[in-house]
Amino acid sequence: MKLTMAQALIRFLASQYVERDGVEHRFFAGCWGIFGHGNVAGIGEALQELPDGLPFFQARNEQAMVHAAAGFARMSSRMATFACTTSIGPGATNMVTGAAAATINRLPVLLLPGDVFASRASDPALQQLETPWAGDVSVNDVFRPVSRYFDRIMRPEQIVPAALAAMRVLTSPADTGAVTLALPQDVQTEAFDVPADFLAKRVWHYERRRPDEAALRRAAQLIAAAKRPLVVAGGGVIYSGATDALRAWVDARGIPVGETQAGKGSLPYDHPLNLGAIGATGMLAANRIARVADVVIGIGTRWSDFTTASNTVFQNPDLRFVNVNVVELDAHKNSGIALVGDARVTLEALAASPARADAAYRAEAQRLHDESQREVDRLYALGSAPLPAQSEVIGAVNSIAGPRDVVVCAAGSLPGDLHKLWRTRDPHGYQVEYGYSTMGYEIAGGLGVKLAAPDRDVYVLVGDGSYLMLAQEIVTSLELQHKLIVVLVDNQGFASIGALSRSLGSGGFGTERTQPVDFAANAASLGAIATSVRTIAELCAALEDAKRAERTTVITIATDKTASVPSYESWWSVVPAEVSTLKDVRAARERYGDARRKQRRHLKPE
């Protein structure tokens, strides 16, 4: 059949399916896009020509549409996503931040930026970069480092191998991330004889890899000998659907669990072995237990500095690691025994392996779990006046959200506070993007989450700074009739960075907003139901209204940024200047030197 490259690609994408554990469904829920020259006549025509192929979703900002795709993919445990089409130039490069966020969070998104004419017949086209020393460079080359697969389609028939390669990466649990197919605008419209098999329904069988048997035996031995074992549950537990397997495995052995940002929800918050958040934004339970643990079993975690408190959270000199991860890179971190495999399959493979946490250690973990919960109660009911504290806002939203509802967040002081305080009751109930911590992800990512789970209420918690960076997808949520409940926490600026700056002796320099903003008027102008509340009681009433409402609601509440949630014996490495005329900076540098001495490298060979 003779089709244009764009028509062939859209038909191909509409025919891709994934299957895992016998459940099969389409991989692409649709195609987000903003048209301009570079896609309007190619991909645009192809989408219009085949309305039953890939449903089209119009966005307001290209970065936002990648976030929506990523939020959707994450809520779908990476079993489904969107394609995103853009014009050439700024439309394309607006997606770079979204691409990096998706790749760093290991979430599949397919990016289809328009590219300059392959023929070069009208060079330089509007928005085309001219590079004196290289004729084959375009702005789209900036996608290379932030993509797990990149190709530029210079001839129409090249789309056949490129599209297959793209699908392999998108459906690989280990390799997934942003995939970029840069599409020169003339090539999109060129026709070729498309092989029928290319367009046939194709099912990608999502792999559950079993780790190497010898590695399993070595890991089982190490775990059996442990007295103070600790599991650190990362996003891989949730993506793999391993939460039940994890619960059974730790219950049988009395092994406590700390949760990373992506792994929060691996166990319900009130499970006695759930010590809650670990690391720089960790709670006292997980962080204290981590300090003495002798074997740490990381499951589906990439050991970011927030999880390890910049490599200070584990202090046992004899500590050994076992890393269960589909990604080899992660499985080998911290000199661990590498179990390269799927979390659920690996836990099942270790089901018969004996292990028992020491009784006193278990009792201490239980005591700390209870103490952490009392601390959450305290912070939920802080009674800060005249302005409420952010922790009280979190408490109010948590108490009104249903057990299956979802909280979405990404940057500022909210993610850390949510990590410590949010009571997660469902494995998919906590969707905080903290791999890239992208200001502006919140509303767009929340929309993606809602598209993946329309039967759940989605609570987007967003700071005033993040809101001002990227809030326009409120319009899209209204257009699509996918309701979001947005709670905008206004502390008049970049409070998290202000606090960080003060801790570094820089006094909050450049982090406050002096210009008042009427956020309710702003949100109302976009079409949302918008209110501004002053007290927690008013917030609760507004949240109840929002639950009943059919449209997206934005509730703004001003908070007291000085009533912040403490950090629990944790640290995060940010380096103050080595020399400075500022006295406070010099003092911070000295404190930094002391704290750094707690950093560990975990080099002990097997």
Ligand X SMILES: Cc1ncc(C[n+]2csc(CCOP(=O)(O)OP(=O)(O)O)c2C)c(N)n1
Q: Which residues bind Mg ion (CB under 5 A)?
A: 463-465, 491, 495
Q: Under the phi-then-psi rule, with left for phi > 0, alpha for psi from -120 to 50, and beta for the rest, what region is 133? A: alpha
> Please, which residue, 267 or 497, has the CB nearer to ligand X?
497
Q: Does 240 bind ligand X (CB under 6 A)?
A: no
In the complex, least distance from residue 17 CB atom to ligand X, rounded to whole angstroms = 35
3-state SS class at 310: coil
Select the binding partner of residue 496 from Mg ion, ligand X, none (C-beta < 5 to 8 A, by kind). ligand X
- Helix-strand-coil split of the chain, %, nearest 5: 40, 20, 40
With contact defined as beta carbons under 8 Å apart, do 552 and 483 qualify? yes
Select the binding partner of residue 532 from ligand X, Mg ion, none (C-beta < 5 to 8 A, by kind). none
3-state SS class at 320: strand
In the complex, least distance from residue 184 CB atom to Mg ion, rounded to whole angstroms = 42
> Which span sits near ligand X by CB under 6 A: 262-270, 292-300, 410-418, 578-586?
410-418
| Rounded CA separation 154/61 (Å) | 27
Cα torsion through 350, 75, 88, 469, rounded to 10: -120
> Please, which residue, 406 or 411, has the CB nearer to ligand X?
411
Residues 426-445: x where in contact with ligand X by CB under 6 A, - otherwise, as a string: -----------xxxx-----
In the complex, least distance from residue 413 CB atom to Mg ion, rounded to whole angstroms = 7
The Cα-based distances of 231 to 56, 258, 463 in angstroms read 42, 6, 32
> Please, which residue, 7 or 390, has the CB nearer to Mg ion?
390
> Please, which residue, 247 or 419, has the CB nearer to Mg ion?
419
Q: How far is residue 407 CA from its own chain's centroid? A: 12
Residues 472-511: x where in contact with ligand X by CB under 6 A, - otherwise, as a string: -------------------x--xxxx--------------
> Please, which residue, 294 or 464, has the CB nearer to Mg ion?
464
Q: Does 564 bind ligand X (CB under 6 A)?
A: no
> Please, which residue, 418 or 495, has the CB nearer to Mg ion?
495
Tell whether the torsion through CA atoms of 504, 505, 507 and 510 is positive or negative.
negative
Cα torsion through 48, 53, 55, 59, rounded to 10: -60
In the complex, least distance from residue 439 CB atom to ligand X, rounded to whole angstroms = 4
> Please, which residue, 265 or 498, has the CB nearer to ligand X?
498
Q: Does 274 bind ligand X (CB under 6 A)?
A: no
Select the binding partner of residue 103 from ligand X, Mg ion, none (C-beta < 5 to 8 A, by kind). none
> Please, which residue, 150 or 441, has the CB nearer to ligand X?
441
In the complex, least distance from residue 107 CB atom to ligand X, rounded to whole angstroms = 17
Neighbours of 360 (CB within 10 A): 10
In the complex, least distance from residue 379 CB atom to ligand X, rounded to whole angstroms = 16
- Helix spans in 193-281 (H): 196-199, 213-225, 235-239, 243-253
Q: Does 102 bind ligand X (CB under 6 A)?
A: no
Name the token pair of 455: 């039967």
Please give the size of the binding site for ligand X, defined by CB under 6 A: 17
Report the residue from 411, 474, 520, 539 that binds ligand X according to the rule CB under 6 A. 411
Q: Does 66 bind ligand X (CB under 6 A)?
A: no
Q: Does 413 bind ligand X (CB under 6 A)?
A: yes
| Rounded CA separation 484/478 (Å) | 9
Backbone torsions φ then ψ of 28, nearest 5 degrees: -105, 120
Residue type, 536: I
| Rounded CA separation 144/149 (Å) | 8
In the complex, least distance from residue 125 CB atom to ligand X, rounded to whole angstroms = 29
In the complex, least distance from residue 518 CB atom to Mg ion, rounded to whole angstroms = 16
> Please, which residue, 370 or 512, has the CB nearer to ligand X?
512
Q: Which residues have CB under 8 Å from 200's CB, separation 6+?
A: 15
Beta strands, E only, 103-222: 109-115, 149-152, 178-184, 191-193, 202-205
Select the binding partner of residue 411 from Mg ion, ligand X, none (C-beta < 5 to 8 A, by kind). ligand X
In the complex, least distance from residue 489 CB atom to Mg ion, rounded to whole angstroms = 7
Q: Does 414 bind ligand X (CB under 6 A)?
A: yes
Q: Does 139 bind ligand X (CB under 6 A)?
A: no
Pair type for strands 16-20 and 23-26: antiparallel
Interface residues with ligand X (CB under 6 A) are 411-414, 437-440, 463-466, 491, 494-497
